[in-house]
Structure 1
Amino acid sequence: MAQNKYDDRAFFDEFMHLPSQALGLQGVPEWPSFRSLLPNVRGTKVLDLGCGQGFTCRWAREMGAILVHGVDISEKMLASANHYPPDPAIEYERSDLETFSLPPSTYNLVISSLAPHYVEKLPSVIAQVFKTLTPGGTFVFSPKWNEDEKPAPLDDYLNEGPRSTNWLAEGVIKQHRSFATYITFLIQAGFAIGALH
């Protein structure tokens, strides 16, 4: 099972005080760039892997998606998502992305914002995403994002694997991957790369 710091009370409380959580999508630094990659969702079925509080799920419904399925490992994040007014076209599910099984040819769009760096077995998740997309479907994802961080060399950039960081708490495990590795995983699963930001 993937590490789940978000259900640790102290970590969750710290996380909920971040601007991205207090302000919704308007407070998410990566949202403008991420949003620019998304297709028109009107009339589509959308899957959000690592949906957190469901901000993007609710956005997709506001933009006309007919069905949205949000998946997250954190019980506390999903409880927060369920505090918003219910929408029968949004379904939230608690599951570990590494063991989650997706139905074939179901979704027009799969998104995963700031979750892939927590997934150890990312190639199998990406392969499942490819299979769950309808023909011509789109997968948009973003790993770790640092707002206003000055470019600097990353120690052992090509040394991939788990790295322990101190972000809101000690010992947060994130999977470091090179840019080339992400691209390779996508190509191996069958994806064609449409855009990069």
Structure 2
Amino acid sequence: MGYKGSAVYDNEEFNRNYIARRNRKESPNNIMEYPALMRFIGDVKGSEILDLGCGEGLFGLDLLEAGCKGYEAVDGSDKMVEAARENISNESASIHHAPLENWNFPTNRYDLITSRLVFHYIEDLSGIFERVYQALRADGRFIFSVQHPVLTASKHEALEGKRTSWNVDHYFDLDGRVEKWIDKEVVKYHRTIEEYFRLLTEAGFQIKNLSECPPERENFKTEEEFERRKRIPLFLLFSCEK
């Protein structure tokens, strides 16, 4: 069936290849998703922040350097938690090792809860969103990104190598998909934009903004890659308030 949740990140070969791929300066995560996310987040000085699915912790370093008062993070992968603890030595930070579905969220603690490209690995999001809502202080914010639904929709295995076309199929079938990614089979859970909206509002959130992270020419080295990234959205961001 494929790896579920964070399990694939504990595969040594996958983890090594993922880190090398993820940390490329020209990675779409770095030049498309990250700038849009940071525009939504804005000033974090004095904020208590929870990061769900922190990976190796480099985003946490950015938030601490930007002046957040406290940074707390959760990740289900042994290897990612180990890397995050090595990367973040700040006394204002703490990293928890637990699947998000099983972590005991505190109540009314955080000013901002964020998550980057994690929730499409989780089958039951309604419970997560409800616990996120309870963990935020009054007027707290919930800002997160997921893989765009046009990418998770098709039930056919993704083509290997650089893709030149994309199929959008089975869009309204809300269930798991097996995708071959970095030579491993992983399970991702497809949701429409409408479904994310429904889950968030039922948890009590007000949705203030969303973004599909359109490419910006100044972030690309070549016109060819810029034009390619204009063809289809890769990311979906939500900015919500309690």
Q: Report the TM-score when normalising by structure 1.
A: 0.91
Q: CA deviation at 1:155?
A: 1.3
Between the aligned partners of 2:89 and 2:27, the Cα distance in structure 1 is 18
Q: Using the TM superposition, name which of 107-116 and 83-92 deviates more.
A: 83-92
Aligned ranges for residues 42-191 of structure 1 at < 5 Å? 42-84=45-87, 86-144=89-147, 152-191=166-205
Q: Which amino acid is the alignment partner of residue 82 of structure 1?
A: R
* Structure 1 residues 49-97: Cα deviation after superposition (integer angstroms, max 9, x where no partner): 0000112211111111111001111111122222225101111111101
SS at match of 1:196: strand
1:196 aligns with 2:199: no
Q: Could you list the runs of 5+ residues in structure 1 that have no partner in the other structure?
A: none
Q: Using the TM superposition, name which of 1-10 and 22-31 deviates more.
A: 22-31
* Percent identity of paired positions between Structure 1 and Structure 2: 28
Could you say which residue in structure 1 is the equivalent of 2:41?
38
Between the aligned partners of 1:142 and 1:188, the Cα distance in structure 2 is 19
Q: CA deviation at 1:122?
A: 0.7
Could you say which residue in structure 2 is the equivalent of 1:28?
30
* Structure 1 residues 153-188: Cα deviation after superposition (integer angstroms, max 9, x where no partner): 421010111100001133211111111000000000
Q: CA deviation at 1:27?
A: 6.2
Is contact 1:25–1:31 with CA below 8 Å preserved after alignment?
A: no
Q: Report the TM-score when normalising by structure 2.
A: 0.75
Q: Which has the larger radius of gyration?
A: 2
Q: Which amino acid is the alignment partner of residue 10 of structure 2?
A: D
Q: CA deviation at 1:26?
A: 9.6
Aligned ranges for residues 8-23 of structure 1 at < 5 Å? 8-18=11-21, 20-23=22-25
Q: Using the TM superposition, name which of 163-172 and 103-112 deviates more.
A: 163-172
Between the aligned partners of 2:111 and 2:14, the Cα distance in structure 1 is 34
Between the aligned partners of 2:137 and 2:27, the Cα distance in structure 1 is 27
Is contact 2:14–2:184 with CA below 8 Å preserved after alignment?
A: no
Q: Which amino acid is the alignment partner of residue 47 of structure 2?
A: T
RMSD of the alignment, in Å? 2.3
The change in CA–CA distance for 1:3 and 1:17 in structure 2 (over 3 A counts) is: closer
Between the aligned partners of 1:135 and 1:150, the Cα distance in structure 2 is 46
The change in CA–CA distance for 1:3 and 1:78 in structure 2 (over 3 A counts) is: closer
Is contact 1:25–1:56 with CA below 8 Å preserved after alignment?
A: no
Between the aligned partners of 1:61 and 1:24, the Cα distance in structure 2 is 23
Q: Which amino acid is the alignment partner of residue 171 of structure 2?
A: Y
The change in CA–CA distance for 1:176 and 1:27 in structure 2 (over 3 A counts) is: closer
